[in-house]
Amino acid sequence: MKIPKGLQPLIDDGAIDAVLRPLKSGKEASVYMVRAGDEVLCAKVYKDMAQRSFQARVQYQEGRKVRGSRQARAIGKASKYGRREQEAAWKNTEVDVLYQLAAAGVRVPRPRGYVHGVLLMEMIADAEGDNAPRLGEIDLTPERALAFHSVLVRDVVRMLCLGLIHGDLSEYNVLVAPDGPVLIDFPQVVSAGGNNAARAMLLRDVHNLRDSLGRFAPELVRTYYGEEMWALYEQGELQPDSVLSGTFVFDEHSADVEAVRLSIEEARREALIRQQGREEAAAQD
């Protein structure tokens, strides 16, 4: 096949030897099957994103750390340089996260390097050596669905223990290898401790898995693993090997809105008194 423009520098530098065929093309990246020596790999070529896409990413990027103070200031100002840095940070996030997750035992494609803006990683193949199907493309027995759910929930827990949430997890971001499910696509990964929407995104991820696999194992539909693991995480008690039951007792007490309002008013009065005291002291000086 004709070598894509984004992969030509890797051919020129000898990082890969051949481009075998395209695997996937999306809004943010194109993925190709490539050969490096005797090994078949995936090459993820990121696409440059328009300003509209940056706005869509804001909810995911809240709480992320930027490597340099200059870059952080530029991103905050949304300058031309800042947008370039934001684009680079978005791409680098997946690379960094893949190495981190692989080291923690999460089932992800093993990264093989980041060359000329292209992510090289392990090819997840099926039993015949072709690219593995997505979870949403196959039918499962109830027993296999339950086993897959157990593996995926455990990986979500491992991620959360690292302070990370996938943020876009569904049956389309899980590949099915002969030995079980593998998580993919991490550029939108969320900071569990720094993002105000972290809990909502975690619950969405876990509920997506529950609903997808619940089609084959209906007993999963009545489970609340996301709520359970988040409660443990907030309490500082979540561990990679924490035993989860899938049950959760929801707080059904009504909020005392009037008490909250009175507390706010009292805090405002106290702040006003302190301000007046400071002004009077300044006037006397």
Residue range 101-128, pLDDT digits in tens:
999 999 999 999 999 999 999 999 999 9
Q: What local confidence, expressed as pLDDT, does residue 189 receive?
A: 93
Report whether 41 contacts 52 (CB < 8 A): no
Mean pLDDT of the chain: 86
Q: What local confidence, expressed as pLDDT, does residue 13 receive?
A: 95
Q: What local confidence, expressed as pLDDT, does residue 60 receive?
A: 57
Q: What local confidence, expressed as pLDDT, does residue 49 receive?
A: 63
Block residue for tokens 């989860």: 244
Strands (E), the chain: 18-25, 29-36, 39-46, 111-115, 118-122, 164-165, 174-177, 180-183, 190-191
Order of strands, sheet of 18-25, starting from the edge strand that comes earlier in the sequence: 18-25, 29-36, 39-46, 118-122, 111-115
Phi, psi of 183 (to 5 degrees): -80, 140
More confident residue, 266 or 84: 266
Among 24-38, 138-152, 188-202, 253-267, the range of highest mean pLDDT:
138-152
Q: Is the pLDDT of residue 277 over 70?
A: yes
Q: What local confidence, expressed as pLDDT, does residue 75 receive?
A: 44
Type of residue found at 203: L
Q: How far is CA 247 from CA 220, 223, 232, in A?
A: 11, 6, 13
pLDDT tier, 148 (very low <50, low <70, confident <90, very high otherwise)? very high
pLDDT tier, 74 (very low <50, low <70, confident <90, very high otherwise)? very low
Q: What local confidence, expressed as pLDDT, does residue 271 receive?
A: 78
246/46 Cα distance (integer angstroms): 37
Q: Is the pLDDT of residue 68 over 80?
A: no
Phi, psi of 36 (to 5 degrees): -130, 105
66/123 Cα distance (integer angstroms): 30
